[in-house]
């Protein structure tokens, strides 16, 4: 990928902002506590939690890239996958079998969505498909909880939640977060290769550009949609496992999707690496702002800070950092 | 053959430019007004007026506002709740700071403040398009709600963060807000505002401005090339739309609930209004009303359905089932008619015109 | 299976309705023999594109339905087949207005055309070679994004993409749209070559009557959802009415309005 100059400038500007502002604030004010190891600890913690946002954003990107559908139901898919996994495990299946079975369920879900919804809405405007995915989100939220109940469930992967100390014990990092980051990195590489270099990947991108033309050259939309929703379901499952073991499997998982949206516009709807880098920037920015800026302007800013940050980036690149240029011809 | 334009002769341009050129349309509108202004207040029960008609009218107004922005100007927005909250809180600040000002001016002022905020958050639309813009408008949604929660000034430092409407009269001692107000007075007051604003909207979208909006919606580059100024056209849409939403928010806080916290205008509200215009029909004034009716009535129906059928289901189960059915119905409607109830209506008219022949 | 006697494609008296209300085709019949170039002519809204879409199965995506009549390709009805099946069986449509995949490069565009192709990498590479031979211009632009190429290159790309699937029959919708006369000539020249060298049958919808009749074997003229005239291309080009109404050449200078009506009366409803 050709990295353009303004991307580098934007990222440099961001780093300056996130380092210089807290540092100055720390020097000038008594209320803001600032020292370098603590700063790095917060930044690294932010980067790693950003990876978790990226995992959810990835699901969005996949479906958008492959079918041009802005899939609002990704959060609900994450919740549904996690609920199903925990539910099946609770029925007595061993963990690995439960995971395989959940993958099967995600495939069936993809088939059902294609059969019942998408195939009936071919060639409709994007906003209609967007609304349909909101409908799917409502349905899945209700369905999963009707099926498996709505109380908070514990999901334990057996990875220690205990903090590990690195760099001579000065900086505290969660082993679990490192594990999540590793998983995310692997997924990005695999998906990137899949999209760029395989026959199906190319067909997916073609469908995203023009449904009807894709139909006319003989790409079977049905199969493509089933494939892409299955893959999004699997990505959702991974995200569900990660988030579920971090905060318990509960309805709030579905709302994390709202956190992933700024990641998405920052990275660009169509870029897999964009989802990761966007996640890192949002994660680090959010944590740093929470710790170093919130004392200055009031608490609770993490609700909107990510959005404002993304908005600031969009002013310079309207299609996100790595999004495909919008090609317009009159 | 039942519905027809044939036989209607117009000899002046005025007649040709009228809103309802066909007698059938004119008569049915008069009929609807008669029912709304006379029949419903006379026979409607407390529950019907307070719990169904009021939220329906107010949400229809908000849907009208969003429809101007999204349906006519093509700018997808998820910030409706934020603009409604702006309207509600500015109305509260105006009413408490200037207690002698008439309620109509309070509502008007609230709408204007919301319009100004709308313009501010509409500026990014000049650079950002489509779903990127939709997500960007969520920024305004979250930011505005956070602002009303965090800064006590907006709620006059009330401990609970809830604002309550002061009692206000329309003329003499006919109260429309506060505990003395009767539901009939509230209903008629809301209805009048909604009718007037709906007529304004209808005329606005068939005027020059409306055509500019639609040109921008259908292809903004082409619109720019034929000389439609992008900046002012888009910002006009944001201003008018936020004005409508702001008035709706003020009515919601003052007339419907009486007291309200910022959370009542959360992102769920934005989605609810968006559902209304999609189900009702994008780019249609009537669609906003049809959609609002559908979305307001559906949960009430779903809520009462188990009792009506005599089923005994646990309450948390019911709420999950409600989600499911609501989601499924949304999808179902989109499949049956992606262009909404308004389009269904015009198809029906098309059929009636040719009836009894199929085509 | 088909031989020289049974036509490759046969349309019998089809009627198409959009959105349950709008009747667009009112009984259209035509036959396409194997190895021929057939032109479908007519003004805007005559129903040419709808005819092509009802063959390739793309109508469903636009809420259109074939309500009467049938379409036989190699004696098999096409109604039950999806567009992808049809491409697999050798019918492919090149849509009006080109419809390239804007964000894919030219080469990737061509490769998507080989989606249904069996025979692995070798077969794909062979077809790619063939397309580049017919359209050397595409070989030069192979790495550029299709959205940034010129209209003519996009049209070539669309035709080339269709060729990648080894089609027996290409439904070509308005290849001349928005192109310079010289380019139109080039495109038609290539169509002729493809027809002669690769044995591809063409059914093309075209507004440019003049050039379409020059390159085709047989022509149908459509108006308001009906076929009003048919004949060998050479005969049509000589027909007085066609000359007057579609080619703009008249024997006796300007005609008055009554004569125009007279022509309309002579039209046939069905062929």
**Chain B: nearest CA to C21, how far in angstroms?**
6
- Collect all residues with Cβ–Cβ distance below 8 Å to A8 and sequence separation of at least 6: none
Antiparallel, parallel or unpaired: β C64-73 and C76-77: antiparallel
Strands (E), A230-299: none
Answer for the pair A216, C56: CB distance below 8 angstroms, yes or no: yes
CA atoms within 13 A on the CB side of B263: 3
Sign, CA torsion A211/A214/A216/A222 = negative
CB atoms within 10 A of CB C183: 18
The confidence band for B173, taking pLDDT boundaries of 50, 70 and 90, is: confident
Check A142 against B150: CB less than 8 A apart: no
> Quick check: C87 and A213 CB within 8 A?
no
Please report, for chain C, the start and end positions of each structural domain, with discontinuous segments joined by +. Answer: 1-90+167-235, 97-166, 239-271
Question: Do B351 and C17 make contact, defined as CB atoms within 8 angstroms?
Answer: no
Which residues in chain A are contacts of C82 at CB distance < 8 A? Answer: 220, 222
pLDDT in tens, B10-20: 777 777 777 77
pLDDT beyond 60 at C253? no
Q: Is any Cβ of chain B less than 8 angstroms from the Cβ of A296?
A: no
Q: A276: closest CA among A185, A174, A191, A176?
A: A185
pLDDT of residue C192: 92
User: A196 with A204: CB under 8 angstroms?
Assistant: no
Tell me the three state secondary structure of residue C104.
coil
Residues C170 and B354: their CA atoms lie apart, in Å, by 39
Share of chain C above pLDDT 90, in %: 27
Contacts of B229 (CB under 8 A, 6+ apart): none
Q: Find how far residue C261's CA is from the centre of its chain.
A: 30
Three-class DSSP labels, A170-232: CEEEEHHHHHHHHHHHHHHHHHHHHHHHCHHHHHHHHHHHCHHHHHHCCCCHHHHHHHHHHHH
**C263 against A275, higher pLDDT:** A275
End-to-end Cα spacing for chain A:
28
Q: Which residues of B touch A132 (CB under 8 A)?
A: 330-331, 334-335
Min Cα separation C71/chain B (Å): 23
- Cis peptide bond upstream of C255, omega within 30: no
Contact B136 A265 (CB under 8 A): yes
Q: Which residues pair with A13 in a beta bridge?
A: none
Q: Residue A30, Cβ neighbours under 10 Å: how many?
A: 6
For residue C31, the distance in angstroms to the closest alpha carbon of chain B comes to 28
Chain B contact for A143, CB < 8 A? yes
Do residues C236 and C220 touch, judged by C-beta distance below 8 A?
no
Residue of C56, C78, C82, C84 to mutate, testing the A interface (most A Cβ within 10 Å of its Cβ): C84
* pLDDT (0 to 100) of residue A166: 67
* Residue in the block written with tokens 């919708």: C173
The span from the CA of A136 to the CA of A232, in Å, is 14
> In A241-254, which positions are buried (b, 16+ CB within 10 angstroms) versus exposed (e)?
bbbbbbebbbbebb
pLDDT tens sequence across B290-319: 999 999 998 888 877 777 777 666 777 777
Contact B228, B248 (CB under 8 A): no
Is the CB of C143 inside 8 Å of chain A's CB atoms? no
Mean of the pLDDT values across residues C174-185? 86
pLDDT band, very low/low/confident/very high, at A328 (cuts 50, 70, 90):
low
Highest average pLDDT, of C26-40, C96-110, C238-252, comes from C26-40
Q: Which of A76-85, A266-275, C90-99, C171-180 has the highest mean pLDDT?
A: A76-85
Q: Report pLDDT for A4.
A: 64
C143 touches chain B (CB under 8 A): no
| Ranges A1-10, B160-169, B314-323, C251-260: which has the least confidence | C251-260
| CB pair distance less than 8 Å for A318 and B131 | no
User: Rounded to a whole number, what is the distance in Å from the CA of C113 to chain B's nearest CA?
Assistant: 29
Closest CA relative to residue C166, chosen from C194, C136, C203: C194
Q: What's chain C's length in residues? A: 271
- ∠ CA(B318), CA(B321), CA(B323), 5° rounding? 115
Contact C55, C78 (CB under 8 A): yes
Q: Is the ipTM of this complex over 0.85?
A: no
Q: How far is Cα C191 from Cα C160, in angstroms, rounded to an integer?
A: 11
CB spacing of A117 vs B331 below 8 angstroms: yes
Give yes or no for a contact between B352 and B3, defined as CB atoms under 8 angstroms apart.
yes
> How far apart, in whole angstroms, are the C-alpha atoms of residue A127 and residue A64?
13
How close does chain A come to C50, measured CA to CA in Å? 14
Strands C91-94 and C169-173: parallel
Name the residue of chain A whose CA is nearest to B276's CA. Answer: A131
Q: Which two tokens stand for residue B152?
A: 């006590």
Tell whether C5 is within 8 A of chain B (Cβ): no
In this prediction, residues A1-11 reach a mean pLDDT of: 64
**Would an 8 Å CB–CB cutoff place C62 in contact with chain B?**
no
Ramachandran quadrant class, B19 (left: phi over 0; alpha: psi -120 to 50; beta: rest): alpha
Helices A175-197 & A272-288 angle (0-180, nearest 10):
150
Q: What is the pLDDT of residues B85-132, one digit of tens each?
A: 999 999 999 999 998 889 999 999 999 999 999 999 998 888 888 888
Q: What is the pLDDT of residue B253?
A: 94
Domain boundaries, chain B: 23-263
- Whether residue C255 has pLDDT greater than 80: no
Measure the CA–CA gap between A104 and A101, rounded to whole angstroms.
5
Q: Is residue C244 packed enough to be buried (19+ CB in 10 Å), middle (13-18) or exposed (0-12)?
A: middle
Report chain A's mean pLDDT, rounded to a whole number. 82
Whole-angstrom distance, CA of residue A270 vs CA of residue B132: 12
Per-residue confidence band for A3, with pLDDT thresholds at 50, 70 and 90: low
Residue A129 is classified by DSSP as: H
Is C208:C184 a contact under the CB 8 Å cutoff? yes
The answer to whether C24 touches C206, Cβ cutoff 8 Å, is no
Query: How high is the mean pLDDT of chain C?
Result: 84
pLDDT tens-digit series, residues B200-246: 999 999 999 999 999 999 888 889 899 999 989 999 999 999 999 99
The hierarchical CATH code for the domain C1-90+167-235 is 3.40.50.300
Contact residues, chain B, for A299 at CB < 8 Å: 150
- The Cα–Cα gap between A244 and A248 comes to 5
Nearest Cα neighbor of A139 from B180, B320, C187, C217 is B320
Interchain proximity A123–C61, CB inside 8 Å: yes
C84/A218 touch (CB, cutoff 8 Å), yes or no: yes
Decide: helix, strand or coil at residue C105: strand
Q: Is residue A237's pLDDT more than 60? A: yes
Residue A110: pLDDT over 90: yes
Integer Cα distance of B54 and B283 in angstroms: 24
How far is B130 from B123, CA to CA, in rounded Å? Answer: 14
Nearest CA in chain C to B354: C21
Q: What is the DSSP letter of C40?
A: E
Chain B residues within an 8 Å CB radius of A150: 316, 320
Percent of chain B with pLDDT over 90: 44
Pairs across A and C, CB distance < 8 A:
89
Per-residue tokens: C96:
């009006």
Residue A176 tokens, joined: 């679990």
> A168 pLDDT exceeds 70?
no
Alpha-carbon distance of A229 to A66, in angstroms, equals: 9
From C65's Cα to the closest Cα of chain B, the distance in A is 14
Cβ count within 10 A of residue B59: 26
C99, C123, C124, C172: best to mutate for the A interface, most A CBs within 10 A: C99
- Interface membership of C83 toward A (CB under 8 Å): yes
d(C-alpha C76, C-alpha C167), whole Å:
17
Average pLDDT, chain B: 88
Closest to A127 measured CA to CA, from B77, C46, C166:
B77
- Strand partners for C201: C169
What is the predicted pLDDT for the residue at B245?
97
- Pick from C17, C21, C23: which is nearest to B347 by CB? C21
**pLDDT the model gives residue C269:** 43
CA distance C84 to chain A (A): 4
CA A158 to chain B, closest CA, distance in angstroms equals 31
Assign C229 a pLDDT band (cuts: 50, 70, 90): confident
| Structure confidence at residue C5 (pLDDT) | 61
**Which tokens belong to C136?**
């050397």
Chains touching B (3+ CB pairs < 8 Å): A, C
Mean pLDDT of A218-238: 90
Answer for the pair A71, A59: CB distance below 8 angstroms, yes or no: yes
- Contact of C61 with chain B, judged by CB distance below 8 Å, is answered with no
Residues A71, A269 contacting (CB under 8 angstroms): no
Residues of C in contact with A123 (CB under 8 A): 61-62
pLDDT value, residue A327: 63
Residues from chain B contacting residue C19 (CB–CB below 8 Å): 347
Across A55-91, b (16+ Cβ under 10 Å) vs e yields bbbbbbbbbbbbbbbbbbbbbbbbbbbbbbbbbbbee
């Amino acid at each position: 990928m050709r990295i353009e100059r303004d991307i580098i400038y934007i990222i440099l500007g961001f780093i300056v902002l996130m380092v210089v502002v807290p540092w100055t604030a720390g020097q000038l004010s008594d209320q803001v506590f600032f020292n370098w190891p603590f700063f790095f600890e917060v930044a690294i913690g932010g980067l790693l939690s950003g990876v978790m946002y990226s995992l959810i954003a990835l699901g969005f990107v996949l479906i958008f890239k492959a079918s041009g559908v802005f899939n609002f139901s990704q959060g609900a898919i994450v919740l549904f996958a996690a609920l199903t996994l925990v539910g099946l495990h609770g029925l007595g299946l061993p963990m690995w079998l439960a995971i395989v079975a959940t993958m099967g369920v995600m495939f069936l879900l993809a088939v059902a969505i294609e059969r019942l919804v998408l195939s009936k809405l071919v060639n409709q405007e994007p906003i209609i498909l967007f609304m349909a995915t909101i409908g799917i989100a409502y349905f899945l939220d209700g369905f999963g909880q009707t099926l498996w109940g709505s109380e908070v469930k514990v999901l334990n992967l057996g990875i220690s939640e205990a903090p590990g100390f690195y760099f001579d014990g000065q900086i505290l990092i969660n082993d679990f977060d490192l594990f999540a980051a590793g998983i995310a990195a692997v997924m990005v590489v695999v998906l990137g290769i899949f999209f760029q270099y395989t026959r199906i990947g190319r067909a997916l991108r073609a469908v995203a550009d023009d449904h009807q033309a894709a139909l006319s050259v003989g790409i079977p939309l049905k199969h493509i949609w089933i494939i892409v929703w299955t893959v999004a379901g699997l990505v959702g499952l991974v995200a569900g496992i990660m988030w579920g073991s971090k905060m318990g499997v509960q309805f709030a998982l579905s709302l994390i999707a709202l956190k992933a949206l700024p990641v998405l516009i920052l990275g660009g709807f169509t870029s897999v690496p964009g989802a990761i880098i966007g996640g890192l920037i949002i994660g680090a920015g959010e944590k740093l702002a929470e710790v170093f800026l919130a004392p200055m302007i009031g608490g609770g800013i993490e609700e909107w800070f990510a959005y404002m940050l993304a908005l600031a980036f969009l002013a310079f690149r309207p299609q996100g950092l790595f999004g495909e240029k919008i090609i317009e011809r009159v | 053959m039942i519905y027809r334009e044939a036989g209607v002769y117009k000899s002046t341009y005025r007649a040709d430019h009228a809103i309802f050129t066909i007698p059938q349309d004119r008569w049915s509108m008069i009929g609807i007004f008669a029912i709304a202004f006379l029949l419903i207040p006379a026979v409607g029960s407390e529950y019907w007026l307070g719990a169904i008609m009021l939220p329906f009218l107010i949400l229809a107004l908000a849907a009208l506002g969003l429809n101007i922005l999204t349906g006519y100007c093509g700018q997808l927005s998820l910030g409706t709740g934020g603009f409604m909250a702006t309207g509600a809180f500015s109305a509260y600040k105006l009413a408490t700071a200037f207690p002698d000002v008439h309620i109509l001016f309070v509502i008007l002022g609230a709408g204007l403040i919301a319009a100004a905020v709308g313009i501010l958050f509409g500026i990014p639309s000049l650079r950002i398009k489509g779903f990127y813009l939709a997500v960007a408008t969520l920024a305004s949604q979250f930011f505005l709600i956070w602002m009303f929660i965090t800064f006590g000034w907006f709620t006059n430092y009330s401990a609970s963060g809830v604002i309550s409407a002061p009692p206000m009269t329309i003329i003499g001692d006919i109260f429309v807000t506060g505990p003395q107000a009767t539901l009939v007075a509230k209903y008629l007051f809301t209805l009048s505002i909604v009718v007037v604003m709906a007529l304004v909207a209808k005329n606005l979208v068939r005027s020059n401005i409306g055509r500019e909006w639609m040109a921008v919606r259908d292809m903004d580059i082409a619109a720019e090339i034929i000389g439609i100024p992008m900046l002012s056209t888009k910002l006009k849409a944001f201003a008018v739309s936020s004005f409508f939403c702001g008035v709706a928010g003020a009515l919601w806080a003052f007339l419907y609930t009486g007291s309200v916290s910022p959370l009542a205008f959360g992102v769920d509200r934005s989605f609810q209004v968006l559902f209304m215009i999609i189900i009702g029909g994008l780019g249609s004034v009537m669609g906003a009303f049809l959609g609002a009716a559908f979305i307001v009535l559906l949960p009430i129906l779903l809520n009462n359905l188990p009792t009506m059928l005599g089923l005994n289901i646990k309450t948390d189960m019911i709420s999950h089932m409600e989600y499911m059915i609501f989601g499924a119905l949304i999808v179902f409607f989109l499949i049956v008619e992606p262009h909404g109830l308004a389009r269904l209506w015009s198809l029906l008219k098309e059929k009636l015109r040719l009836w009894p022949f199929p085509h | 299976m088909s031989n020289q006697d049974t036509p490759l494609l046969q349309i019998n008296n089809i009627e198409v309705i959009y959105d349950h209300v709008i009747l667009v085709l009112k009984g259209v019949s035509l036959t396409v023999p194997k190895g021929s170039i057939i032109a479908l002519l007519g003004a805007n809204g005559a129903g040419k594109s709808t005819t092509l879409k009802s063959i390739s199965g793309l109508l469903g995506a636009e809420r259109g339905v074939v309500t009467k009549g049938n379409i036989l390709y190699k004696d098999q009805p096409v109604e039950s087949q999806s567009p992808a099946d049809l491409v697999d069986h050798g019918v492919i449509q090149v849509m009006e207005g080109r419809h390239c995949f804007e964000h894919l490069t030219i080469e990737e565009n061509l490769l998507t055309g080989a989606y249904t192709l069996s025979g692995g990498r070798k077969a794909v590479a062979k077809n790619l070679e063939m397309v580049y031979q017919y359209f050397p211009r595409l070989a030069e632009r192979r790495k550029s994004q299709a959205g940034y190429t010129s209209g003519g290159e996009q049209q070539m790309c669309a035709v080339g993409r269709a060729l990648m699937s080894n089609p027996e029959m290409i439904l070509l919708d308005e290849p001349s749209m928005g192109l310079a006369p010289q380019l139109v000539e080039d495109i038609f020249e290539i169509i002729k070559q493809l027809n002669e060298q690769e044995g591809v049958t063409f059914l093309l919808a075209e507004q440019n009557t003049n050039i379409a009749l020059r390159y085709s074997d047989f022509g149908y003229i459509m108006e308001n959802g009906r076929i009003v005239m048919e004949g060998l291309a050479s005969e049509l080009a000589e027909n007085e009415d066609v000359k007057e109404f579609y080619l703009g050449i008249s024997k006796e200078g300007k005609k008055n309005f009554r004569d125009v009506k007279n022509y309309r009366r002579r039209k046939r409803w069905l062929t």
